[in-house]
Chain A
Amino acid sequence: MPRFIDVQAPEHGVRLLTLQRPEALNALCTELLAELASALAEAEADPTTRAVVITGSRKAFAAGADIREMAERDLVGILNDPRVAHWQRIAAFCKPLIAAVNGYALGGGCELVMCADIVIAGEDARFGQPEINLGIMPGAGGTQRLLRAVGKPLAMQMVLTGEAITARHALQAGLISEITQPELAVERALQVARSIAAKAPLAVRLAKEALLKAGDSDLASGLRFERHAFTVLAGTADRDEGIRAFQEKRPAQFKGC
């Protein structure tokens, strides 16, 4: 039983993971990260789960790492930090991950947001990498994914000043995909997840992989990967069903093969 994560399956094909560490604004302690990584591993192993929504509370998505925990680690401790492996497992999750963000997404919380594929944020959400204020720097993708998401000048500003940006600013910059009324962020994320859950799972999986490739490879290899993935889908029953349903003007029934 996870201590810091509540796992629900509110609708068919969709899992909702809620970070629950209210006393610390959902600060990502190592135990929470480990629980998150294994919750995602379970969602990955479950064939009926086709999309996952991750959220925090109304006040905070996740307000950073656990500073007390970090203070206890010296150089060697950081070198052997188990968190690195948890982050890798989270980032490698192969099904669509949708973040519903309200309140603070700071430091590790902002880095977690950037591990998600789609981000829905309530209009009072705040995103930032305040690590610099503690004499440290982002250590879980904050300097890499942020630059790819928002471009160099804003990424530099956020990382070097530690100042957070508003949801509206984050939307303009391309860090998030949509803004909602705060009370409706989770609902909207579930809607998006439901829509994805109704698609052909193999197509969704390969499309996600191709999109992620685009962020970290040169154009030629990205295009080559895209073409291979496109070709693989030609051998699936779901592709035949999708095209036939379109021609017969009916909703497609995908089976995941």
Chain B
Amino acid sequence: MTFEHIVFSIEDGVAFLALNRPEQLNSFNTQMHLEVREALKQVRQSSEARVLLLTGEGRGFCAGQDLSDRNVAPGAAMPDLGESIDKFYNPLVRTLRDLPLPVICAVNGVAAGAGANIPLACDLVLAARSASFIQAFCKIGLVPDSGGTWLLPRLVGMARAKALAMLGERLCAEQAERWGLIHRVVDDAELRDEALALARHLASQPTYGLALIKRSLNASFDNGFDQQLELERDLQRLAGRSEDYREGVSAFMNKRTPAFKGR
């Protein structure tokens, strides 16, 4: 598949995926969905990729669904939006959450609708100072999707989640950082370099262990304390069998820098 609406590469352990419909603020049409899906499939199957960096080209990160891609003309049959969620948005956020490697999201500009929630399914979110998050769904009679209703209350608390989802007001990057919605705000000019530096750092780390960390923290929302303790035991059992663990201990003992392979 040749990519028309995304920029995609895998180099030195870093998978780079940029949404690339800048004129439409990188809003999703069917073609872009298919391309993102294909790219993520390649990341999953790649033996080389150890971290994924997701970002957008141009001034926006992602404006959610491209409404011109949907027919809501008067007299037209009522659309089944559940279908497009089932087919595209749910698999997308599930994949981001389930990918067995760290996923960095660099929010370079406006993130609206599904575009505001896709970053929340990633592991580490950096945002440009000028970026903003808008739960625009309520403005057109819809419900936050792509995991928004589940992630928002967990990240910022129920009161703020309801205000964001029901008022649909613009949340600036700095406020998002203060609220704990995202990891860090970066100056606009620095964003891509910072995100790439972070990606390169993570690509040199014991990424199998990082994937297990991701798995355990994602599961913690649904687990009771005892269940989570058992999960930690099981995942530690797996981590303890990794080459990287052996390398990490041996490097520590011999006071040298470890060379991790991500297995």
Contacts and interface: CB of A to CB of B under 8 A. Distances in A.
Interface of A: 180-181, 183-184
B234 interface: yes
Contacts of A184: 234, 237-238
Contacts of A183: 238
Contacts of B235: 181
Nearest to A180: B234
Contacts of A180: 234
Interface string B228-250: 00010011011000000000000
Nearest to B98: A124
A180 B238 CA distance: 12
A183 B238 CA distance: 8
A181 B231 CA distance: 8
A183 B235 CA distance: 9
Interface in B182-201: none
Given A181-B231, A181-B235, A184-B237, 6 more contacts: A180-B234, A181-B234, A181-B238, A183-B238, A184-B234, A184-B238
Nearest to A184: B234
A55 B218 CA distance: 28
A3 B235 CA distance: 34
Interface of B: 231, 234-235, 237-238
Q: Which of A180, A181, A183, A184 gathers the greatest number of chain B CB atoms within 10 Å?
A: A181
A183 B237 CA distance: 10
A20 B258 CA distance: 37
Contacts of A181: 231, 234-235, 238
Nearest to B241: A183
Nearest to B212: A181
B98 to A, nearest CB: 9
A181 B211 CA distance: 13
A120 to B, nearest CB: 13
A180 B227 CA distance: 11
A181 B238 CA distance: 10
Contacts of B234: 180-181, 184
A184 B234 CA distance: 8
B90 to A, nearest CB: 14
A84 B12 CA distance: 54
A184 B235 CA distance: 9
A162 to B, nearest CB: 17
A57 to B, nearest CB: 16
B21 to A, nearest CB: 33
Contacts of B231: 181
A186 B196 CA distance: 39
Closest A-B pairs by Cβ, 6 of them: A181-B234, A183-B238, A184-B234, A181-B235, A184-B237, A181-B238
9 contacts: A180-B234, A181-B231, A181-B234, A181-B235, A181-B238, A183-B238, A184-B234, A184-B237, A184-B238
A184 B230 CA distance: 12
Nearest to A181: B234
A166 to B, nearest CB: 13
A91 to B, nearest CB: 32
A181 B234 CA distance: 7
A255 to B, nearest CB: 34
Nearest to A187: B237
A216 B237 CA distance: 41
Contacts of B237: 184
A239 to B, nearest CB: 35
A223 B238 CA distance: 45
A181 B241 CA distance: 15
A181 B230 CA distance: 11
Nearest to A188: B234
A183 B215 CA distance: 13
A181 B235 CA distance: 8
